[in-house]
Structure 1
Amino acid sequence: MRIRYLLLNAYGTGGTIRTVFTQAATMAGLGYDVEIVSTVRHKDEPNFDLDERVRLTTVVDVRAPKGDEPAPGPVGRYRAARRERLRKQGGRIVPEGEFGYEAFNRHVEREVVRYLKSVGDGILVTTRPALNILAARYASPRLIRVAQEHMNLGTHRPDVQKAIARYYPSFDAVAVLTSRDLDDYKKLLPGTRLVRIPNAVHSTEQEHSDHTNKIALAAGRLAPQKGFDMLIPAYKKVAERHPDWQLRIYGTGKKKNELRALIDKHHLYNHVFLMGHTDRMEDELTKSAFYILSSRFEGLPMVVIEAMTHALPIVTFDCPTGPADVITDGKDGILVPPKDTDALADAISTMMDDRELRDSMGAEALTTSQGYAPENVHMMWEELFSDLVRTSGKAAAAG
């Protein structure tokens, strides 16, 4: 049985990429023929390790061409010029409200459609609304088609929700991350097979924090979703009470300069540090005392669960959705009302004040994280795939 996972960019750093890599490795270990297909490729090697049994292919390679490539002939020049024209045109199929819309120019859309029409067997798993919509419209109905949703329904913009309502019923199954999201999708998609399967962490065998270093850690794209523009002003109040602590924010993105200006504005240059990208996040988590999530919205915040595998307690906004599906307030972390920066600052200070609290919540966080172990989560996927082969009537075509 062949399983193909279609990602937007397998060479990026997001949580979806890592969880798909982990899932693909498990499926390969169970004997499936597994391939990850990256819609675009912008670098030579992926950021995350990929099991050698899993093939990685690309639809559109956007790396700069090599300088020693021979000049194309007339047909090649025509095709190259047409390709450039299409790249300058916005997508026509993907809704403009899709958070990854900028990646789907007309050239990328056309190539993805061409790829989808070329696939004739097995299980196709698509991993974001843009790819789900394209697969629903253009992938062969002979395939077993499964849509993954890694964001909650309520955060999708109206045009995306409208497309979801129109196209998702054609899938053999739609998988969401949380119970609350499952309820929302049931209302939007009556009659569609919906399942809740959380993402798995890549490993639960991590070195644990001893909660002694005076470091609070946050991580994610430097983008509005992650709310670092709320966390930094909130930390001004924290720094006044705990000047010997550091807040380290890992990640890259378009908002770096704005966040740097916020740090300067609040005179936090000795307290808050934009650390950029790291290939050693596990080491950084182990060195930290607790983790902070300041997002405006999430799907299922995998970085939080990764932090919990290091026995880190969590301070988080109770944003839609995910944090409250993972964290039990007062047990393995502290939940505060969404966008309430004063409450966030107070919760951070509470965690800094009390080493015993960090120890006890960290132990509970470690226990919570075991529910997201690969062996537990991927069993759900294997059961779903097996059941779809058995019940969809597509077993022969998928063989």
Structure 2
Amino acid sequence: MLRSLLNVVRRTLLAAMSARDWQRARSAPPPSDRQIRILLLHANGMGGTIRTVFNLAGHLARTHDVEVVSVVRAREKPFFPIPPGVRVRYLDDRVSGRKGFLSRIPGVLVPREEAASDSFTLAAEIKLIRYIRSRREGILISTRPALNLLTALFAPPEVVTVGQEHLNLASHKKPVRRQIVRRYGKLDALVTLTETDLVAYDAALLSRPKVLTQMPNAVTALNGGISPLTGKTAITVGRLTHAKGHDLLIRTWVHVAARHPDWTMRIFGSGRKRGKLLASIEEHGLTSKVVLEGAATDVGSEMAKASMFVLSSRLEGMPMVLLEAMSKGLPVVSFNCPTGPAELITSGHDGLVVDMGDVEALADAICTVIEDQSLRGTLGAHAVKTAAGYDMEIIGKRWEDLLASLVQPR
């Protein structure tokens, strides 16, 4: 009953907003890229999207007024350092818990099937919409389906809107994809991470944004030097979730350990699958062979100690962690999951790519890198050069060119 009433209110407000936007558009000033605002779900978290957004924000802040806007604040301090010149604003502070009646009501605009829907209470949606509607100029960049959809619905005509896809279209559940297909055409620009996903969006959208383009994330500068590739350890980094495929990696290491018992697999990350993964390690007799290290506070230094990086994900957007490992001179071995690895790795040149889910093929590739020291060095040297092509100076210039093009008279 309450949800039905809220839906009626929503439709009424949207109609009134459309009329108001017509008036605002008539008196809107020329578009400007002086102010850039970037929407994140939780800026104080530890995910890859947050790291890459901070990386981009820091670059843009050298010549623009940049603010990262976090919908929720569930952790008191940021996990990643805030770049110089970047401000962070929090809309729904939950450090001391959710407060108020509206904070106990689920949101009505974000699809329930969106992975972050539990974070969008009615209070959070209202605060976010108020913020979006308060903008009077500049560029608003949103970074996940929930934020892209609300930006497409509520952004006023004075604001240039840019939606980012940090995973890929196929990874979203069908109800979310249906809304994406209908609404993303209202954005001024949509940016995918890979060419594969760009093609998928181009085919799926009912109407195109003014600009539909592909832009990889820039590799994050990390501590630690280039790995000497002498340690008998492999490394992976990622949240302990089903999508990251650590269960497949443990099964893979059964084969690796049988051939090379002196090598260790170190898994950095935290998440809800930790207990099950620990049980699997013990069940397969891999205690001390596969080690769950927890979240890394200095991932660059940990990578520099390893001799190989392994990606066992079931799906990705564009796995930045691969490029970060490559920047440390690590040969990378990866499943050909959708999407990203095949676009980042030239198999046999700077890493090895095997069929998705084939744990024996992954084990064979790992063992090849272990056993062939010359190949290991060659792959690692080429990996450094590959990662250099994703330097922030290069990718940042592409972003600056895109944003400048969007504020030309529309």
Q: Do both share a fold (TM > 0.5)? A: yes
Q: In structure 1, how many angstroms separate the alpha carbons of the residues matched to 2:345 and 2:305?
A: 21
Match status 1:56 vs 2:88? yes
Once residues 212 and 50 of structure 2 are traced to their aligned partners in structure 1, the CA distance between those partners, rounded to angstroms, is: 22
How many angstroms does 1:204 deviate by? 7.6
**Separation of aligned partners in 1, 2:118 and 2:371:** 44
Q: Distance in 2 between matches of 1:112 and 1:380?
A: 28
Matches of 1:293 and 1:391, distance apart in 2: 44
Asked if 2 retains the 8 angstrom alpha-carbon contact of 1:146 and 1:175, the reply is yes
Counterpart Cα distance in 2 of 1:265 and 1:99: 31
Which residue of 1 is the match for residue 146 of structure 2?
A: 130
Cα distance in 1, alignment partners of residues 300 and 222 from structure 2: 11
Query: C-alpha displacement at 1:81, in angstroms?
Result: 4.0
CA contact (8 A) 1:217 1:248 kept: yes
User: Which residue matches 1:10?
Assistant: 43
1:33 aligns with 2:39: no
Inter-partner Cα distance in structure 2 for 1:81 and 1:208: 51
Task: Show the counterpart of 1:225.
Answer: 243
Cα distance in 2 for partners of 1:46, 1:81 equals: 25
Q: Provide the rounded CA distance (Å) in 2 between the counterparts of 1:206 and 1:195.
A: 33
Asked if 1:174 is matched to 2:190, the reply is yes
- Where relative contact order (Cα < 8 A, 6+ residues apart) is larger, the structure is 1
**SS of alignment partner, residue 389 of structure 2:** helix
Determine the C-alpha separation between the residues in 1 that align with 2:196 and 2:140: 25
Residue in 1 that maps onto 2:4 = none
Gaps of 5+ in 1: 66-78, 393-399
Whether 1:82 aligns to 2:115 is: no
Preserved CA contact (<8 Å) 2:224 2:301: no
**Counterpart residue number, 1:351:** 369
Q: How many equivalent residue pairs?
A: 375
Aligned counterpart, 2:208: 191
1:208 aligns with 226
Change (3 A) 1:259 1:251: same
Residue 162 of structure 1 corresponds to 178
Contact 1:204–1:369 under 8 Å retained in 2 = no
SS of corresponding position for 1:372 = coil
Cα drift, residue 198 of structure 1? 0.5
Q: Percent identity?
A: 43
Per the alignment, residue 12 of structure 2 pairs with none
Deviations 1:209-231 (A, max 9, x none): 01110010011010011000111
Residue range with higher mean Cα deviation, 106-115 or 306-315: 106-115
Q: Which amino acid aligns with 2:325?
A: A
- Judge which range, 189-198 or 125-134, deviates more: 189-198
**Alignment partner of 1:295 is 2:295:** no
Q: Is the 8 A contact 2:184 2:208 kept in 1?
A: no
Q: CA deviation at 1:110?
A: 2.2
CA contact 2:317–2:338 (8 Å) conserved in 1: yes
Q: 2:343 aligns with which of 307, 318, 325?
A: 325
**1:107 aligned partner:** 123
Give RMSD over aligned pairs.
Answer: 1.5
Listed as ranges, the matches of 1:221-260 within 5 Å are: 221-260=239-278
Displacement of 1:139 in angstroms is 1.9
Equivalent in 157, 167, 174 of residue 151 of structure 1: 167
Which one-letter code corresponds to 1:198 in the other structure?
P
Alignment-derived partner of residue 31 in structure 2: none
Q: Is the 8 A contact 1:218 1:248 kept in 2?
A: yes
TM, length-normalised to structure 1: 0.91
Tell me, in whole angstroms, the C-alpha distance in 1 between the residues paired with 2:283 and 2:112.
Answer: 34
TM-score when normalising by structure 2: 0.89
Runs of 4+ in 1 over 4 A off after TM superposition: none
- Deviation of 1:121 after TM superposition, in Å, equals 1.5
Instruction: Tell me the residue number matched to 2:155.
Output: 139
Instruction: Tell me the distance in 2 between the aligned counterparts of 1:209 and 1:40.
Output: 38
Aligned-pair CA distance for 1:112:
1.4
For structure 2, the 5+ residue unaligned runs are: 1-33
8 A contact 2:69–2:90 mirrored in 1 = yes
Instruction: Report the residue type matching 1:351 in the other structure.
Output: V
**1:174 match: secondary structure:** strand
- Asked if the contact 2:71/2:92 (under 8 Å) is kept, the reply is yes
Separation in 1 of the partners of 2:278 and 2:334?
22
